[in-house]
Every structure is written in C-alpha cells, then in structure tokens.
Amino acid sequence: QVQLVESGGGLVQAGGSLRLSCAASRRSNIMGWYRQAPGKQRELVAAITSGGSTNYADSVKGRFAISRDNAKNTVYLQMNNLQPEDTAVYYCHLITHSGDYWGQGTQVTVSS
C-alpha cells in the first residue's frame, strides 16, 4: 500500500498564498497536484518528474510553483496570488510502478 498525507489547505483572502505538502510512503516517478471545484471535472494543476521537469496548467502559470524533495519523498505546491477561481479540493497524485495513487484531498478556499 501507498500512503499519502496532504497538508497546507485552508482559507485565504484573494491575493494571499498557501503552500500544500504531500508526503508519500514510497518514491515515485511523477508527482502532481490536481484540483476539483464544485460541479467541475478534476483537472491537472501541476506535475513534476523525479528529475525535476515540470508542467503547469495555463491558469496557474506564473502564480504556482511545484517542487519536490526526493530525500523526504514529498511534493509541494506553492500557490501565490490566489484568486476565488482557485477554490477547490486539491489532490496529491503519484505515479508508481504499481499504479496511480491519490491523496485524501485538502480544501483550498479563496475569499474575495
């Protein structure tokens, strides 16, 4: 089994910042963050490979930054200049040799 523990969500005013963390129990080739807003499909926010290559959704480029600490097996999402449109449940995602795994989700709410 793979365990993922997410933290860092919360309530923030527009223009504020949050940093999400996801600690995994094993290494993975790709780690990423997805989000799902009410009534919307889950969408990719950002992803990072074990080598440090990154990919971002157009809506968050320039505001969010994904990083990972391979020694701690942890992925982070630094979210700056948050807007109400960013309000969603954010899910950590891992791709391993045994398949895909998801965190429990953490709520991010941005007030205007």
Q: For 54-96, how does the pLDDT look when each residue is reduced to its tens digit (9 = 90+)?
A: 999 999 999 999 999 989 999 999 999 999 999 999 999 999 8
Taking the mean position of all CA atoms in its chain, how far away is CA 88? 11
Q: For 5-31, how does the pLDDT look when each residue is reduced to its tens digit (9 = 90+)?
A: 999 999 999 999 999 999 999 888 999
Number of Cβ within 10 Å of residue 102's Cβ equals: 14
Write the CB contacts of 57 (distance below 8 Å, at least 6 apart in sequence).
Answer: 43, 44, 45, 46
d(CA 49, CA 8): 22
d(CA 56, CA 46): 4
Q: What is the pLDDT of residue 93?
A: 96
Q: What is the pLDDT of residue 102?
A: 95
d(CA 68, CA 51): 10
Q: What is the pLDDT of residue 27?
A: 86
